Chain A
């Protein structure tokens, strides 16, 4: 598997990562090498094997429908980059 510059640009966009232009060839090389390693999986026949998502095959627990959390907005917002009137600020989205 060999990734081109355009592939890296596309993946970086999907992952919302700004990547400096000059290091894109290096990422293309490294990611291609990693995918090359991963391709060793292709040698294994896995037809009807059930995928394993959790080592103990656990299922999601249910809990009582009760309020357990308290309002901690001020504490959580004290570490936010930009807050006004209890709202998180981001650049304008709608003109």
Chain B
């Protein structure tokens, strides 16, 4: 059952081959038996999952089922779930039971999906390796010595290990695409504003966007269809109809123009990864696409610009954690300042503190123009690079990450080296464009992801382009040896 796609599971549930309760029990048992090796879940919601499964079985019996009714999913622990702890991977929220559901959670509940649990993540989504979590690192199912990527590392590992057919994630600088790449699965970050941020704990509000991690593009289409849409409770949500992403998956790719940014294939790209990407592009040529060279001239500035804008927004967003109304509070505060300082000092881990301090510094008096304003101006240039490119090509392709998964502990001593792991994904967030990563092969036994970047609101086209590739290749069906049986 655990190797079936969402589409197959949905058909089996309708045909009565097995019930949703049986499916849910099976996956919960797998998590219980195998997740000790990965640490992909922070909280497993057994009882609630079984109650939702019974309700889904009733809906299926009544013929009142949608495409996700009875489909078990995992939620990244950044989405608020009423009555269930929402930790955001932080000691600060270790005791936090959200008083309400995120819009995304509400939508999956209404669709009849079954919540298996909340997945591990980098603390407040700040990290590229899932090593900054208060609950310990997540391991990569393909190689337990390797990181799964981050920050949606728990979601990526859980889907790759066949604990759940799909999971939610969030992507501020690559946090869906990079872990999808490193765990050999499919991940999509939609256009900024496509998915509601209501109840999604904020890191950098002008960059954060929710999305999904699944094994195939077809499954991502089914899940994104439920998750996407206008939400008046999120002031940056875009009021625009959501197409049926599953309807256009099979469109032919004849005449598709793919742009290869030469800046994504320079120094710093691992030659093994480059070889896998070349082979994937060859497949696209066979499918009728034309591949042309393009340039995104300001690409090298993506990481510097991001490490001004994201920390600035983070320092502002995270000022709400003050030990007064919810979250961690220090013992016996001497005065109000001591309450703030020690609650925050104890509640946040080192990476979160670094980013809050960078943000505080670049926004402090006298520095605003030199850092924040400068970064926003270059952000405009980078966004224009993409619009220029999309006048010549339909989509942009390249690697999702410069290397395959690195080892746990390998980059923790040097934040800057860690940050460069997102060198190909960050610009997409700065421009607010949709992006995907799909499995395209292996290098030294570890998965490689092909990144596909689209124009605004081109999610249907991206999923179609990914799906056609998955019809002629089988990388997305490969399972890690320890977790396939």
Contact = CB atoms under 8 A, between A and B. Distances in A.
Interface in A54-88: 54-56, 58, 60-61, 63, 72, 75-76, 78-82, 88
Contact of B336 (A11, A27, A53, A91): A91
Contacts of B377: 46, 49-52
B197 interface: no
16 contacts: A15-B356, A15-B360, A17-B341, A17-B348, A19-B345, A41-B304, A51-B379, A52-B376, A52-B380, A56-B193, A56-B432, A61-B235, A79-B96, A90-B336, A91-B333, A91-B339
Contacts of A38: 304, 307-308, 362, 371, 375
Interface in A22-60: 23, 27, 30-31, 33-42, 44, 46, 49-56, 58, 60
B124 to A, nearest CB: 14
Contacts of B301: 40-41, 44
Interface residues of B, number: 73
Interface size class of A (residues with CB under 8 A): 35 or more
Contacts of B206: 53-55
Given A41-B375, A58-B236, 12 more contacts: A12-B357, A17-B345, A27-B354, A31-B358, A36-B416, A39-B304, A50-B377, A51-B379, A55-B193, A55-B431, A56-B456, A79-B96
Nearest to B192: A55
A34 B344 contact: no
A52 B193 CA distance: 16
B419 A37 contact: yes
Contacts, number: 162
The 8 A-B residue pairs with the shortest CB-CB distance in the complex, in nearest-first order: A55-B432, A18-B345, A51-B376, A81-B329, A52-B380, A46-B377, A18-B341, A16-B340
Contacts of B324: 80-81, 88, 90
A58 B432 CA distance: 12
A41 B358 contact: no
Given A46-B374, A55-B206, A76 B325 contact: yes
A27 B357 contact: yes
Contacts of A15: 315, 344, 356-357, 359-360
B304 A14 contact: no
A83 to B, nearest CB: 9
Contacts of B325: 76, 80, 88
Contacts of B322: 16
A77 B366 CA distance: 39
B33 interface: no
Residue of A16, A49, A76 ringed by the most chain B CB atoms within 10 A: A16
A61 B416 CA distance: 38
Contacts of A44: 298, 301, 378, 381
A79 B380 contact: no
B323 interface: yes
Interface string B69-113: 000000000000000000000000001110100000000000000
Contacts of B45: none
Interface in B371-403: 371, 373-381, 383
A62 to B, nearest CB: 10
B235 A55 contact: no
A88 B322 CA distance: 12
A72 to B, nearest CB: 7
B380 A37 contact: no
B343 to A, nearest CB: 8
Nearest to B354: A30
Contacts of A8: 357
Nearest to B236: A58
Contacts of A55: 192-193, 206, 383, 430-433
Nearest to B340: A16
B44 interface: no
B250 interface: no
Contacts of B376: 51-53
Nearest to B300: A40
B96 to A, nearest CB: 7
